[in-house]
């Protein structure tokens, strides 16, 4: 696949950002490529387009699948695996947030719970005790809340976000009403 300058810029940038988001460059580049392509692409085409090793593409695709960002599809009359990603940016966002929550929040909630449940937790310094409990409560609230949000339809979510500025009024309205 021949990339236009703009597509190239997009893919390279996405790759750079990937490293800041905790995934490797190739993986994000491949994802960006599939996203722009908007059609099933086979591994060899990715190799040629991005100039990376076949093995690298293979592992990155596996990783992308484990993130549920990419799935394998087949094209009639072609026995090679083809890969594609969702074109719905909201859905992608949802997937990423869910996965990051699982990897970056849940282990901490576990640890905090075990801290609080520990036999000698009450013997901790008051401050420490209090802060650990606060942190746990915060993370649980955050988790529950984002679960709620992520369960919404993209459209509802979008509407909600666009309401943005009015959040406070809504809250007040709701409190006044109920």
Q: Which is nearer to its own copies, 21 or 73 (CB)?
A: 21
Q: Which of 43, 67, 124, 150 forms a contact with its own copies (CB under 8 A)?
A: 124
Instruction: Identify which of 94, 23, 92, 86 has the alpha carbon closest to the alpha carbon of residue 60.
Output: 23
Minimum Å distance from CB 106 to its own copies?
A: 11
Minimum Å distance from CB 117 to DNA?
A: 29
121-138 b/e with 16+ CB inside 10 Å = b?
Answer: eeeeeeeeeeebeeebee
DSSP-assigned states of every residue in 93-125: HHHHHHHHHHHHTHHHHHHHHHHHHSTTSTTS-
Instruction: Identify which of 86, 80, 83 has the alpha carbon closest to the alpha carbon of residue 71.
Output: 83
Under the criterion CB under 8 A, does residue 2 sit at the interface with its own copies? no
| Footprint on this chain of its own copies (rule: CB under 8 A) | 4-7, 9-10, 13-14, 17, 20-22, 35-39, 87, 89-90, 93, 103-104, 107-108, 111-112, 114-115, 118, 120-121, 123-125, 127-128, 131-132, 134-135, 138, 141-142, 144-145, 148-149, 152, 156, 158-168, 170-171, 173-174, 177
């Amino acid at each position: 696949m021949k990339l236009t300058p703009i597509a190239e810029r997009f893919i390279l940038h996405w790759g750079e950002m990937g490293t800041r988001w905790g995934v490797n460059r190739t993986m994000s580049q491949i994802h960006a490529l599939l996203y722009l392509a908007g059609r099933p692409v086979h591994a060899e085409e990715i190799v040629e387009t991005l100039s990376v090793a076949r093995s690298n593409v293979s592992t990155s695709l596996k990783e992308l699948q484990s993130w549920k960002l990419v799935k394998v599809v087949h094209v009639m009359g072609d026995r090679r695996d083809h890969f594609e990603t969702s074109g719905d940016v909201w859905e992608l966002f949802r997937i990423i947030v869910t996965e990051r929550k699982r990897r970056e929040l849940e282990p901490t909630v576990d640890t905090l719970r075990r801290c609080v449940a520990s036999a000698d937790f009450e013997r901790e310094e008051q401050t420490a005790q209090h802060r650990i409990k606060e942190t746990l409560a915060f993370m649980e609230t955050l988790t529950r809340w984002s679960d709620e949000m992520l369960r919404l339809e993209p459209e509802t979510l979008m509407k909600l976000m666009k309401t943005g500025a009015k959040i406070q009024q809504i809250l007040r309205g709701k409190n006044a009403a109920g």
